[in-house]
Amino acid sequence: MTLTLNVNGKTCAVEADAETPLLYALRNDLGLVGTRYGCGLGQCGACTVIIDGKAVQSCDVPLSAAAGKQISTVEALCSDTSLHPLQKAFIAEQAAQCGYCASGILMAAKALLDTNSNPSDADIRNALERNLCRCGTHSRIMRAVKRAAKELRGER
């Protein structure tokens, strides 16, 4: 079956079973490998993408549920000439050690900052609660999200 996906502002046709997880289509069919396979059960957050403004685990979303919706992956964060403020903040705060979880955390944080330009610590923890990081950089991640929020608000 051919399904139409709107990924990172582009319309893409994917030939797959309607129940195929979105994660598989993103990585295997569209070559968007920034979205990571973690647990495959929607419990670790490594595969987080944004669908219609909401952070979701793409391993839990069948293609049929994603068709026709606006999907953003970590590849959409930067342009050819610049990094997104979240990416710059993660680098500045050294928030990623192994980096495996980073793309999912970046997308969950982006979904938060898209709706809340001045999140509290509790807001950030709540937004990232489904994203696991085994390297233990949680305090750095918190600082990075706050730094990016300040930049997005135009503050120094």
pLDDT tens, 93-144? Answer: 999 888 889 999 999 999 999 999 999 999 999 999 999 888 889 999 999 9
Task: List pLDDT tens digits, range 12-41.
Answer: 999 999 999 999 999 999 999 999 999 999
State the CATH number of the domain containing residue 98: 1.10.150.120
What share of residues in the chain are helix, strand, coil (percent, to 5)? 40, 15, 45
Which of 28, 49, 76 is the endpoint of a domain? 76
Is there a single domain that holds both residue 96 and residue 138?
yes
Measured between alpha carbons, how far is residue 94 from residues 38, 70, 98, 145 in Å? 22, 30, 11, 12
DSSP 99: -
pLDDT digits (tens, 9 = 90+) for 33-85: 999 999 999 999 999 999 999 999 999 999 999 999 999 999 999 988 899 99
Residues 6+ apart with CB under 8 A from 122: none
Q: What is the reported pLDDT for 35?
A: 96
Same domain, 64 and 95: no
Of the residues 76, 99, 125, which one is the last residue of a structural domain?
76
pTM: 0.95
CB distance 133 to 108 below 8 Å? no
Model confidence at 156, pLDDT cuts 50, 70, 90, reads: confident
Are 143 and 109 spatial neighbours (Cβ–Cβ below 8 Å)? Answer: no
Is 152 a residue whose pLDDT tops 80? Answer: yes
